[in-house]
Amino acid sequence: MDLSIVISLYNEQESLRELVEWITESFAKSPISDYQYEILMIDDGSNDGSWETIKNLSKEYPTIRGISFRRNYGKSAALQVGFQAAKGDIVVTMDADLQDSPEEVPEMVRMIKEEGLDIVSGWKKKRYDNVLMKNIPSKLYNWTARKISGLKLHDMNCGLKAYRSEVVKEIEVYGDMHRYIPYIAKNAGFTRIGEKVVHHQKRKYGSSKFGMERFVNGFLDLLTITFLSRFGKKPMHIFGVWGIVAFLAGFIISIWLIIDKVISQVHGLKFRPVTDQPLFYLALVTIIIGLMLFLTGFLGELISRSSSNRNEYKIKERLNN
203-253 pLDDT per residue, tens: 777 666 555 566 677 777 778 878 877 787 788 888 999 999 999 999 999
**Which one is predicted more confidently, 260 or 208?**
260
State the Cα–Cα distance between residues 179 and 318, nearest whole angstrom: 31
Report the DSSP beta bridge partners of residue 66: 41
Please state the separation of Cα 298 from the chain's center in Å: 27
Please give the pLDDT value at position 50: 94
Averaged over 107-130, what is the pLDDT?
88
Q: Of 121 and 131, which is predicted with more confidence? A: 121
| CATH (residue range 3-231) | 3.90.550.10
Write out pLDDT tens, residues 10-51.
Answer: 999 999 999 999 999 999 999 999 999 999 999 999 999 999
- Mean pLDDT (the chain, rounded): 87
- Are the C-beta atoms of 58 and 33 separated by less than 8 Å? no
Report how far residue 20's alpha carbon sits from residue 273's, in angstroms, rounded to the nearest whole number: 79
Flag whether pLDDT at 157 surpasses 70: yes
Indicate whether 77 pLDDT > 60. Answer: yes
The predicted pLDDT at position 2 comes to 93
Confidence of residue 75 (pLDDT cuts 50, 70, 90): very high
> Phi then psi for 64, rounded to 5 degrees?
-85, 130
